[in-house]
Structure formats: structure tokens, C-alpha cells
């Protein structure tokens, strides 16, 4: 700063070199790049599991001639397709901000997550139409021999494990795709349970319960799909993602700060953008006020999970307004 003071003042503003504060690395726990790498790893593991489930169902269905298992296997194959869509979305989302996308590319992941919601609507439609086909007699009732039951139970276990794994990682990594895909995998669990229950009910002499079950399952899947679409559309439409008081509580503890207003947040859980007005002690000069501004930015990035970008409009506090004491120089 001292060399600036020695330089003769000019009448026109020049592009000033960034201060060291502006070049400081973000204080967040996990960088966007590292989080993206971990999300991709989760998706590769999930892809491997989903593909093995699908291939074993198709192979068994083919060998045994049980059509419903083979069909279920092809459905499981679409889970792997979803994983690939997720990998693509996360890959694009991880690219750093550039001149064309100065706010970064995080919304590519939100778009991919929206595709998961759409695929659930297709799945609900499929459950309904195949039940209707059985009802009208154009398709045979589902049958399960004991070995088929074993195949379904094993794949059910894999699905439960995948859903739990994705759910936990989505929270740790702030990934909307993993959260959406976890909800989708939970729906798969329900579908498989439905297949088992329906076969049991039909064999026990209650065939009328087949369409009733199908209606219930399709309704639940469609509802899950709509929830996923709604949530991700909210992210795309810049809905608020943090409670303003959560931001205010952090900022009001920063030295030099008197008050805060016009708090706005948007983005998705792993990529939250915050902008706000901060009123600082009015005796501070520009250099000190700039320092306070960066304390605010660092406090928000380090104390609120998922905050990646903070823009502060700094203004002087009112005359006589109380402010947090500044630390000794
Ligand atoms: Zn700065
Ligand atoms: Zn203001």
C-alpha cells in the first residue's frame, strides 16, 4: 500500500493492481474442483453397481424366460444412463469461471439433476401402462420363481446401499445431482418391492390388487419426479437458498461492522452466491473499510457451507451508530 501513497495522484482512474486481499485463496473447506472430483467418483462407483445390477437381471431374465425381470433389468440400465448424464453435468459444472461464464458453470449440474426428475416421470408412466396391459390381458401376469426372488432381493440390497451412499455424499459435497439421483434410486427400491408384493398378492388370489399397487407406486414415483424438477427449477430460477438471518448472524460478528441489509442469496447447495450491503464504522478510511469487507467475505465463505461467491457493497454506518470494535493495528 505504501507505494500507492508515494505515487503522484492522477486525475483519471487507472486499472489498479489487485490488493493482496483480493488474491487470497477462498477459505472454503472444499474447493469446487475437489468437490466435483469426489462427486464424479461417487457417480463412477454407482454406475458400476447399477450396471452390474442391470446386467445380472437381464442375464437371469433371458436365461429363465421371466420377462418381468428382464424388463426390470432394462429399467436398471436407464439408471446407468442417468449416472452418465450426471458425470457429464458434473464435468461441465466443474470448469472454472471464464469470460463467457463469469459466474462459473455450476448450473450444468442442476440441468443434469433436472433430467433425473424427467426420467422418473417416464418411469411412472411405464409402471402405469404395464399394469394396464396386465389388467386388459394384453400382457401376462408377473411370475417369480424362488431364484428370481433371490435375484430381486440382491439387487434390492444394492439399490438401498446406493441410495444411502448417494444421499450421504450429496450432503457432504453439496451436490444437487447426487441428492436427485438418491431420490431416484429410492424410487427404484419401491418399484422392486412393488414387483415382489404384486406377484405375492396375485399368487395369493388377489389379482385386483395389481393395478391398485401399480397406481400407488406410479403416483409416488411421479410425485418424487415433480419434487426433483421443482427443486432444481428453483435453483435455476435464482430462488433464495439461505435464510437471511443466517447471513446476518455471521456478518454482525465481524470487526468494524455496524449493520447489514439487502441480503440476497442464490445458486445451489454446493455453489451459493451471496450479495449484501454492509455498513462499517464511519471513521474507517478506504483501506481499512476494504479490509473489513474482506473479513466479511472470508467469514461467510468459511462459516456457511457451500458459499463460493460473495459481493459486498460497503457503506458508512450512521453517525453515532454502534459497531464491532476494530482489532489493534
Ligand atoms: Zn477487495
Ligand atoms: Zn445499502
Q: Do domains 32-236 and 238-329 have the same CATH topology?
A: no
What are the residue boundaries of the structural domains of the chain, listed by start? 32-236, 238-329
Q: How far apart are CA 123 and CA 112, in angstroms?
A: 17
Q: How far is the CA of 315 from the centre of ligand 2 (A)?
A: 7
The pLDDT of residue 31 is above 70:
yes
Q: How far apart are CA 152 and CA 73, in angstroms?
A: 10
> So what's the ipTM on this one?
0.88
- Grouping H, G, I as helix, E, B as strand and the rest as coil, residue 313 is strand
Ligand showing the shortest atom-to-Cα distance for residue 293: 1
Q: How far is the CA of 308 from the centre of ligand 2 (A)?
A: 22
Could you identify the residue written with the cell 401376469? 141
Among 77-81, 164-168, 193-197, 293-297, the minimum mean pLDDT is found in 193-197
Q: How far is the CA of 241 from the centre of ligand 1 (A)?
A: 25
Q: How far is the CA of 310 from the centre of ligand 2 (A)?
A: 16
Contacts of 185 (CB under 8 A, 6+ apart): 46, 79, 159, 162, 163, 166
Q: What is the pLDDT of residue 144?
A: 64
Q: What is the mean pLDDT of residues 6-30?
A: 55
Q: What is the 3-state secondary structure (H, E, C) of 233-269?
A: HHHHCCCCCCCHHHHHHHHCCCCCEEEEEEEEEEEEC
- The average confidence (pLDDT) of the chain is 85
CATH for the 238-329 domain, from 3.65.10.10, 3.40.50.300, 3.90.25.10, 3.30.70.1350: 3.30.70.1350
Q: How far is the CA of 313 from the centre of ligand 2 (A)?
A: 7
Ligand showing the shortest atom-to-Cα distance for residue 275: 2
Please list all protein residues whose beta carbon sits less than 5 angstroms from ligand 2, which is an ion. 277
The CB density around residue 320, as the number of other CB atoms within 10 Å, is 6
Q: What is the mean pLDDT of residues 29-50?
A: 86
Domain with residues 32-236, CATH architecture: Up-down Bundle (1.20)
Model confidence pLDDT, tens digit, residues 94-152: 888 899 999 989 999 999 999 999 998 988 888 888 878 877 876 666 666 777 778 88
Please tell me which residue, 317 or 35, carries the higher pLDDT value.
Answer: 317
Ligand showing the shortest atom-to-Cα distance for residue 314: 2
Q: How far is the CA of 19 from the centre of ligand 1 (A)?
A: 7
The CB density around residue 209, as the number of other CB atoms within 10 Å, is 16
Please tell me which residue, 11 or 99, carries the higher pLDDT value.
Answer: 99
Model confidence pLDDT, tens digit, residues 48-103: 998 988 888 888 877 776 666 777 777 778 888 899 999 999 999 988 889 999 99
Amino acid at each position: 500500500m505504501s507505494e500507492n501513497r508515494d505515487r503522484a495522484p492522477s486525475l483519471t482512474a487507472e486499472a489498479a493492481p489487485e490488493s493482496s486481499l483480493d488474491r487470497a485463496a477462498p477459505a472454503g473447506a472444499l474447493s469446487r474442483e475437489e468437490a466435483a472430483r469426489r462427486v464424479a467418483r461417487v457417480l463412477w462407483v454407482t454406475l458400476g453397481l447399477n450396471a452390474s445390477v442391470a446386467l445380472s437381471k437381464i442375464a437371469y431374465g433371458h436365461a429363465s424366460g421371466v420377462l418381468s425381470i428382464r424388463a426390470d433389468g432394462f429399467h436398471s440400465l436407464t439408471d446407468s444412463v442417468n449416472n452418465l448424464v450426471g458425470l457429464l453435468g458434473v464435468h461441465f459444472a466443474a470448469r472454472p469461471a471464464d469470460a463467457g461464464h463469469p459466474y462459473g458453470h455450476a448450473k450444468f449440474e442442476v440441468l443434469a439433476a433436472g433430467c433425473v426428475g424427467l426420467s422418473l416421470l417416464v418411469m411412472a408412466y411405464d409402471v402405469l401402462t404395464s399394469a394396464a396391459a396386465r389388467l386388459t390381458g394384453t400382457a401376462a401376469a408377473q411370475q417369480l420363481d424362488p431364484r428370481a426372488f433371490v435375484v430381486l432381493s440382491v439387487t434390492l440390497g444394492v439399490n438401498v446401499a446406493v441410495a444411502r451412499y448417494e444421499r450421504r455424499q450429496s450432503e457432504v459435497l453439496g451436490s444437487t445431482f447426487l441428492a436427485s439421483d438418491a431420490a431416484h434410486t429410492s424410487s427404484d427400491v419401491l418399484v422392486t418391492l412393488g414387483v415382489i408384493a404384486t406377484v405375492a398378492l396375485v399368487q395369493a388370489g388377489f389379482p385386483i390388487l395389481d393395478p391398485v399397487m401399480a397406481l400407488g407406486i406410479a403416483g409416488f414415483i411421479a410425485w418424487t419426479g415433480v419434487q426433483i424438477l421443482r427443486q432444481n427449477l428453483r435453483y435455476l430460477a435464482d430462488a433464495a437458498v439461505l435464510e437471511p438471518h443466517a447471513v446476518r448472524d455471521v456478518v454482525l460478528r465481524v470487526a468494524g461492522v455496524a449493520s447489514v441489509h439487502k441480503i440476497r442469496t442464490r445458486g445451489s447447495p454446493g455453489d451459493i452466491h451471496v450479495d449484501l450491503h454492509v455498513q462499517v464504522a464511519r471513521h474507517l478510511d478506504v483501506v481499512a473499510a476494504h479490509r473489513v469487507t474482506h473479513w466479511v467475505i472470508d467469514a461467510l465463505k468459511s462459516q456457511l457451507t457451500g458459499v463460493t461467491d460473495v459481493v459486498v457493497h460497503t457503506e458508512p454506518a450512521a453517525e453515532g451508530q454502534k459497531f464491532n470494535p476494530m482489532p489493534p493495528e
